Amino acid sequence: MNTAVFDRRESEVQSYARNFPVLFHKARGAWLYDEAGQGYLDFLAGAGTLNYGHNHPELKAKLLAYLDDDAIVHGLDLYTVAKRHFLETFERLILSPRGMDHVVQFTGPTGTNAVEAALKIARNVKGRSNVLCFTNGFHGVSLGSLAVTGNSHHRDAAGVALNGATVMPYDGYLGADVDTIALIDKQISDSSSGLDLPAAVIVETVQGEGGINAASSEWLRRLEALCRKHDMLLIVDDIQAGCGRTGTFFSFEEAGIKPDIVTLSKSLSGYGLPFSVVLIKPELDRWKPGEHNGTFRGHNPAFVTAAAALELFWSDDRFATEIADKAERIRSAFAGIIARHPDAGLSQCGRGMMQGLECPDGELAGEITREAFAQRLIIETSGADDQVIKTLCPLTISHDDLQRGLDIVSDAVSTVLARRNKKRAVA
């Protein structure tokens, strides 16, 4: 495997290849293939960017036909046929059926740019700078998004003070007995708490990078009520948990809440093409033309695959049923692993097909994912100490491949724990 140029020329900032040092070349569905054609089962799927798998044949056909037609690839934010088709499809299949009257802002193609836009519009509309965010939250690495992100590894790289945010305890952060909404309410209500009245609250319903912590529906409803009570906007960052990952198109549907602002990215294009949007309640859409811009606002090939993915997967509720079935298979596989190793301190977390197997520490989780990789399963860790093994496999994965991956995880857990016990016995 010739990877010399990466050592020679790629910046040290590179990260994923350190855990998966393989030269990848091709991919299809839930499988990645290296240069020699060896397959690897992909339970990372672009950190939730490939909910419909790699190179979905029907989406690819639409994309190739579009390119072959010399249709617009780059069009700034001009009207194009592809953009019209995406907006009409998104309105018909996603927004209207859910009673959402939000307008769509096309931002630069990264998730963090959508978060920046969401924070800007919320602050400008409310005329306040403070935003509430949560422990273990992750919203991207540009400065505004970083200010509402918990992880010190990322925050410490900023090089400047990160302002305009106050961190609050997420659901369950202080233990099952502490009502964190009551705590936040108290701090906002108390004129001497030292907390500046926030413009908005930004939240992930399931914390993707922060450890697959899932907020309860009840907590999310009370958070929404808190926002209404104190005139704060509710921003749901659905960049990772959205597009079906938790079982419904938006991750907040189960809770029945109505966020003022929603960010979407990662799986939105359906094909791994960069594409991000902010959904904004129409009365909050006070942008002046071009106030938040970007050269790559709305990538036309991404509109094509995004619209095709919506048609293919979200025209009826079959896909949601399929996700619920697979989510249950993951849940019961993890429950089985925990039951087989009652003394290992394992637990499970997450919701839908965004689930985690939590280990007592990051060292054990890392050993398990390395063992899984030796069996050609690509699976990553998440959380403050990288202590959670997270499943982000394509939602379209076959039952056989899903089972295969879960079996590898189970096997890796057994192998690593047995190895540790043996070492302990020798010592």
> For binding to ligand PLP (CB under 6 A), which residues are involved?
110-112, 115, 138-140, 204, 208-209, 237, 239-240, 265-266
Q: Provide, rounded to whole angstroms, the least separation between the CB of residue 88 and ligand PLP.
A: 25
Q: Kindly state the smallest distance separating residue 245's Cβ from ligand PLP, in Å.
A: 10
Shortest Cβ distance from residue 257 to ligand PLP (Å)? Answer: 17
Residue by residue, DSSP assigns 272-289 as S----EEEE-GGG--PPT
**Residue 197 carries which DSSP code?**
P
| Local structure of residue 237 (DSSP, 8 states) | E
CB atoms under 10 Å from CB of 105, counted, come to: 22
Q: Which is nearer to ligand PLP, 114 or 408 (CB)?
A: 114
Residue whose CB is less far from ligand PLP, 259 or 367: 259
Name which of 94 and 141 has its Cβ closer to ligand PLP: 141
The smaller minimum CB distance to ligand PLP, of residues 83 and 139, is found at 139
180 vs 205, which CB is nearer to ligand PLP? Answer: 205
Q: In angstroms, give the least distance from the CB of 273 to ligand PLP.
A: 12
Give me the helices (H) in 139-281, please: 143-147, 152-155, 180-189, 217-229
Least CB distance from residue 156 to ligand PLP, whole Å?
18
Q: Give the strands of the sheet with 347-351, arranged side by side.
A: 347-351, 354-358, 388-391, 380-382
Closer CB to ligand PLP, 223 or 417, in the complex: 223
- Residue 327 · residue 399 · CB < 8 Å: no
Q: Closest distance between ligand PLP and the C-beta of residue 263, in Å?
A: 7
Token pair 């921003």 is at which residue?
Answer: 235
Pair of tokens at residue 78: 């001009």
What is the bridge-based pairing of β-strands 277-280 and 261-264?
antiparallel
The DSSP annotation for 126-154 comes to: HT---EEEETT----SSHHHHHT---HHH
CB of 110 to ligand PLP, least distance (A): 4
For residue 1, the minimal CB distance to ligand PLP (Å) is: 27
For residue 52, which of 238, 311, 421, 253 has the smallest C-alpha distance? 311
Helix axes 81-90, 300-314, angle to 10 degrees: 30
* Single-letter residue type at 217: S
For residues 318 and 238, the answer to whether their CB atoms sit within 8 Å is no
Give CA–CA dist 54/31, Å, rounded: 8
Please give the Cα distance from 222 to 218 (Å, whole number): 6
Q: Which amino acid is at 150?
A: G
The rounded distance, in Å, linking the Cα atoms of 348 and 18 is 26
Instruction: Report the residue number, 383 or 406, with the smaller CB distance to ligand PLP.
Output: 383
Whole-number minimum distance, CB 274 to ligand PLP, in Å? 8
User: Partners of 352 in the beta sheet?
Assistant: none
Q: Which is nearer to ligand PLP, 53 or 111 (CB)?
A: 111
Q: How far is CA 275 from CA 37, 111, 181, 301, 354, in A?
A: 30, 8, 33, 10, 21
Backbone angles phi, psi at 213, to 5 degrees: -80, 125
Considering beta carbons, is residue 111 or 247 the nearer one to ligand PLP? 111
Residue nearest to ligand PLP (CB): 111
Q: Which is nearer to ligand PLP, 238 or 371 (CB)?
A: 238
For the CB of residue 258, give the shortest distance to ligand PLP in the complex, in Å. Answer: 19
